[in-house]
Amino acid sequence: MLPVLGPSSIRHADAWTIEHEPISSLELMERASRRCASRIVQMLDGERCFGDPFEAKFLVLAGMGNNGGDGLAIARMLHEVGLSVRVVRAKHKPEASAENATKWERAIASGVAAIDLSAGEQLPRIGPHDVIIDALYGTGLRTAIEGWVASLIEAVNTSGAMVVAIDMPSGLLAEPEEGTDRGAVIRANRTITFEVPKLAFFFAENAANVGQWEVLPIGLDAQFIAKQPTDHHLLGDQDVRSLLGSRPRFAHKGTFGHSLLIAGSSGKMGAAVLATRSALRSGTGLVTARVPQEERTILQTTAPEAMCSVDRDAGDGIGSLPDLASFTAVGIGPGMGVTADTVLILKNLIQSVRMPCVIDADALNILAENPTWLSFLPQGTILTPHPKEFDRLVGVLSNSGHERLQRARELAIRSRCHLVLKGAWTAICEPTGHVYFNPTGNPGMAKGGSGDALTGLITGLLAQGYAPKEACVLGVYLHGLAGDLAAERIGMDGMTAGDLVDAIPAAWRRLRSGSEQVRG
């Protein structure tokens, strides 16, 4: 599990490493730059990220601080291996940091073509094969970039050149705060960030600036980093594997619990089918779906392994709760509609349920219309909204992903629930205030029904006895991994939520075998 740390914690980790390794600040910068330069060479030669490696030329845009110092050292190292490199240092303040000044002298001495750019001057011409390395500002930026430096950034963004940002795209705040004005920000194709992820990377509004990002270890003290206080972490595959329960040889279907799904209505039975089929793939022993009387044939035909519970007189909707005594977990909401009957069903469930519960889709919309009910949710309830459902749930339109995450975290604390805020980096918000970002999944999952599959999967895990936090982490990770496997097999464009459900067994096998890594 990787902590997501802010600038102050990273500075403390730098200082601790310098004092206790021991290593000088210049040597630490040299080590980080060496690893970064090696990664850029790998991108160039091994991965062909920048087109023809024989035509690529590097333009390092450096600032006056230590991020600029990293850029200057990287320029020298790329030059030393025979690559075409030139440096432009933007003098956005009168004096360079001591480390920056030293790296400037070394770059010049090694033969790197380097110029200083003063206020009002323009960037040199950017050619068709130039790759720009952005080292203007790092994680220490506190204010929006405006004026002359903003014009430099605009020139980079409109050049059409590939851009690699070092640590942070310049202009992007590592810890965005509500109300902060956004100035000019580099639009990077790739971001190589040092040691730990930065919070800004997890929000949709920053995706065009960050591009594809990766964490590059630079040898900071791992034990010190692990002890730094933070509410945000990025899950890894080993974190999820550590949660896996066993399947004893003498187990039977009763050993792994009985899942109840309350879902479906006329015209929306697909949601019920996907949730039910996903629950069947979760490892739970038994699955029952509470569906409308007149739609039961659809469910029994498409998911014959599941049992069907119906209202005899409810017609094409669900009219009442079944007896809950025989179930070990319940999921409610996919495709069930927001009729007077389903409103009453959700109210009765909140008042009477004594088992773990997942609330999704139409059930979330009913909660949004009855916000006082949030105060009565049983402790440990799991809510699984997508961004628009969440905004309806709290009654406020969020202006950014960061703002939405803060509200989700506050709601999880206030309501003592586990909130799964779905997205490219699905965030699991705990009643403790901790947030866990999930690394699996891909844009091919942006299809109707994917959320219904997640509801069924988490419900099935709860039924087996996984605690709510464990069920959220394991369910979200498996769901994304199944999506990744489906995309590998048939591609992101044509895959459906049904393909994701079909890939859940392979995701289980991949996770339990531990033989292959997934993206993180």
Contact 180, 173 (CB under 8 A): yes
How many beta carbons lie within 10 A of that of residue 433, not counting itself? 11
pTM, 2 dp: 0.95
Residue 447 token pair: 């299809």
Confidence (pLDDT) at 201: 96
Residues of the chain with pLDDT under 70: 177-181, 312-315, 514-520
337: left (phi over 0), alpha (psi -120 to 50) or beta: left
Check the CA dihedral 61-64-66-72 and report its sign. Answer: positive
Compute the distance between CA of residue 439 and CA of residue 81 in angstroms, rounded to an integer. Answer: 34
Other beta carbons within 10 angstroms of residue 53's beta carbon come to: 15
Residue listed under structure tokens 């803060």: 406
Instruction: Evaluate whether the domain defined by 238-513 bears CATH number 3.40.1190.20.
Output: yes
User: How many alpha carbons lie under 13 Å from residue 165 in its C-beta half-sphere?
Assistant: 30
Q: In CATH, what is the architecture of 2-230?
A: 3-Layer(aba) Sandwich (3.40)
Contact (CB, 8 A) for 436 and 473: yes
| Domain positions in the chain | 2-230, 238-513
Local structure of 245: helix, strand or coil:
coil
Rg (CA), the chain: 26
Contacts of 303 (CB under 8 A, 6+ apart): 273, 276, 277, 280, 287, 289
pLDDT at res. 180: 57
238-513: same fold as 2-230?
A: no
